[in-house]
Amino acid sequence: MRDFQLPGRSVAYGESGMAATSHPAATLAALDVLRAGGNAVDAAIAAVAVQCVVEPQSTGIGGDCFVLLAPAAGGVVALNGSGRAPRAASVARLRELGVDDLDGTVHCITVPGAVDAWCRLVEAHGTKDLDELLRPAIRYAEDGFVVTPRVAVDWHEGTGRLRCSEAGRRQYLPDDRAPVAGARLRFPALAATLRAVARHGRQAFYEGDLAERMVAFLRSQGGLHAVEDFAEARSEFVEPISTGYRGLEIYECPPNGQGIVALLMLNILEGFELGAIDPAGAERMHLQAEASRLAYRDRDAHLADPAMAEVPVAQMLDKGYAARLRALIEPGRALAKLPPPLLAEHSDTVFLTVVDRDRNVVSFINSLFEGFGSGLVCPETGVLFHNRGKSFALDPEHPNAIAPGKRPMHTIIPALALEDGRPAIGFAVMGGHFQPVGQVHVLTNLLDFGMDPQEALDAPRAFAHAGQLEVERGILEATAARLAGMGHEVVPAAKPLGGGQVIVLDHARGVLLGGSDPRKDGLALGY
């Protein structure tokens, strides 16, 4: 029970359905669909489409998505909606063009995979048609929407990137500056594109006039994209991966996503009695930081598109391997230098979760990668392209090296937890590279420290990455000082770390408990 004299928000409760998103308009859209008889998949599609309009810094139809679905009947369905590099793209070709860094170039744009994934998901598991589900998003794009506070902050920070293209400047920077909270915007070109997709499905986006216009724009920027690359784009239903933790089975999408990193971290931390220590103390933050440093080292060495590189999934999920990594962690001192990977070497985002009356659970993440993605906007279609291909390597020997038709290593990772075969938790945490750490932090808050979903999201966070330990302002100075004494290079987090959503299914009482991250503008709402 939280202290009602302190700032905070109560956990949300519901019985017949619930949605948790990072924007009020998206949560409302999902609830409207649920209350009109749609299922969790229908509601998730409606919500994420709205977010592609009202949270343009984080997501869009020019991005990618990953989905986990836990049907009430049992099992887990995983959908990989990440796009591929153009067929003409390769390390050698980019070197010929003088490219030695993908960041900030048109070559960081892979073919957007989100729209195809939406269409496949609705066709396979939805109950309503796309025309109905996209109406709220079309209405916001056509008639206008009000900019919310966190979106306004992110928009301001993305001003420079939006000036990368004339259409970006014109459509996203009215009066040549970022809109402030409370400003009202419209995206008529994007509305027309959404309307075409609503009427004609994936074909409208990946073939014909819209695809030709997008390809022509990308090629005008120096891209290697072709209409055939768009026509061949297909999302894939894949086999999810999982591990056991504290009596639950935790599910993630397999590589090329980094969900395996979260599972590896859980396997490492499983051997520590986390519940016996202070959840906001230095010891907990230290153990989590060391586990993340070891797991991310393996990510950077091995994670790639498994269709084109050997990814040691079984070895990384092996409990014995996690025990070997755990043995490297010293309780009171940070590893000064990480050892080489123990495995053999090979030659901003939105998340939402929805539960319906039948207890189908959807965990859905849709992303442009960094704020406003590439910053490149197709003027005729209003499509803002992501920069997901920035994650490719330009070392031809690296498993994640760019290659024709290849998918890059992906940071976006939805998650689900099942207990005794029944859906138990839909959750994830946005935030680029932070996402596995965010997931582990929130899940251990729930399972090891007994927090409710809102408390688990409210709790302060730390992130060990790139040689430093970023700490949010919510972490006490004494805790930060103790971490520094353990050998961590402690620095203040420049921005809030991530933003998550959680819905817990309490089957015994027949209720749903939801939380939404205060680091974003959204909310959890049930009925």
Q: What residues are annotated to the active site?
A: 349
DSSP 1-47: ---TTSS--PPEEESS-EEEESSHHHHHHHHHHHHTT--HHHHHHHH
Q: What secondary structure, in 3-state letters, does 199-253 show?
A: HHCHHHHHCCHHHHHHHHHHHHCCCCCCHHHHHCCCCEEECCEEEEECCEEEEEC
How far is residue 323 CA from its own chain's centroid? Answer: 28
Name every residue whose Cβ is closer than 8 Å to that of residue 116 and which is 6 or more positions away in sequence: 81, 202, 205, 206, 233, 234, 235
Quick one: DSSP state of residue 134? T
Please state, in angstroms and rounded to a whole number, the distance separating the CA atoms of residues 312 and 526.
40
The amino acid sitting at 77 is: V
Tokens of residue 488, six digits: 């961590």
362: phi then psi, degrees, rounded to nearest 5: -120, 135
* Token pair recorded at residue 480: 């930060």
Look at strands 12-14 and 77-81 and give their pairing: unpaired
Nearest to 526 by CA among 499, 500, 509, 503: 503
* C-alpha 282, offset from chain centre: 27
State the burial class of residue 255 (Cβ atoms within 10 Å of its Cβ: 0-12, 13-18, 19+): buried
